[in-house]
Amino acid sequence: MSIEATGSGVPPWLINSNSSTAHTEKIRTEQAIMGKDAFLRILLTQLRYQNPLEPVKDTDFIAQMAQFSSLEQMQNMNKNLEVALQTLSLWQENSFLNSQISCALALIGREIEYRSGEEYRTGTVEAIRVNGGIPRLLVNGEEVYLEMVASVASIKQPEIEEGATEDEQSDSLPTTDPTDPTEAA
């Protein structure tokens, strides 16, 4: 057996060994990402070219079919998990946006203090505008993000007019103080 030197000074059997290892690793990588179509092609090729005197054993064939079935089930489960994850992500995003819009709607007619640049201003929320899914409060003609709101004034109870009829008073809440003993009935 003669050994020929290559231009790099590396024996040829070492070069072939390294390229063989790289080729084997490439095949392993491709097999790791092999789909069900490739699996069936390999199985059919194996059956087509088997030795007729020594056919594939039933147990080996059943094991390969079980592997195929497991592969298919795992791929289907992976697809279902991806869809579920996308659905959950959309639900969370919509839930967050809906809660922000609900908060903004609850502030209509309320007096707020908000940050505008370096200063704080106050005003009554006149309306909300939703642009790109982000609600903005309209205060004194200025759009205010919810994050800029520093405080919200409490709701003032309407005053009951003296001489108002009983029907007119039933729409408002009583203004008696339950802790005051003189007002207790």
Residue 131 in any domain: the answer is: yes
pTM to 2 decimal places: 0.42
pLDDT at 79: 93
Q: Report the domain count for the chain.
A: 2
pLDDT at 60: 81
pLDDT at 131: 87
- Classify residue 136 by its DSSP letter: E
3-class SS letters over 8-50:
CCCCHHHHHHHHHHHHHHHHHHHHHCCCHHHHHHHHHHHHHCC
Q: Do 71 and 21 fall within a single domain? A: yes
Residue 115: what are its φ and ψ, rounded to 5°? -90, 130
Domain boundary residue among 78, 93, 108?
93
- For residue 44, what are the domain limits? 12-93
pLDDT at 47: 81
Cα-Cα-Cα-Cα torsion 86, 90, 95, 100, nearest 10 degrees, comes to 140
Residue 89 in any domain: the answer is: yes
Give the separation between CA 75 and CA 81, rounded to whole angstroms: 10
Local confidence pLDDT in tens for the 185 residues of the chain: 444 444 445 444 444 444 455 556 666 555 556 667 787 788 788 888 888 888 777 788 788 888 888 888 998 999 999 999 999 998 988 888 888 888 899 999 999 999 988 999 999 999 999 888 889 999 988 999 999 999 998 777 667 667 666 555 555 555 555 555 555 54
pLDDT at 11: 46
Q: Confirm if 156 and 170 have CB atoms less than 8 A apart.
A: no
Give the separation between CA 145 and CA 135, rounded to whole angstroms: 7
Q: What angle do CA 139, 153, 166 make, to 5 degrees?
A: 105
- Alpha carbon 165 to chain centroid distance? 56
Q: Do 88 and 106 fall within a single domain? A: no
pLDDT at 4: 44
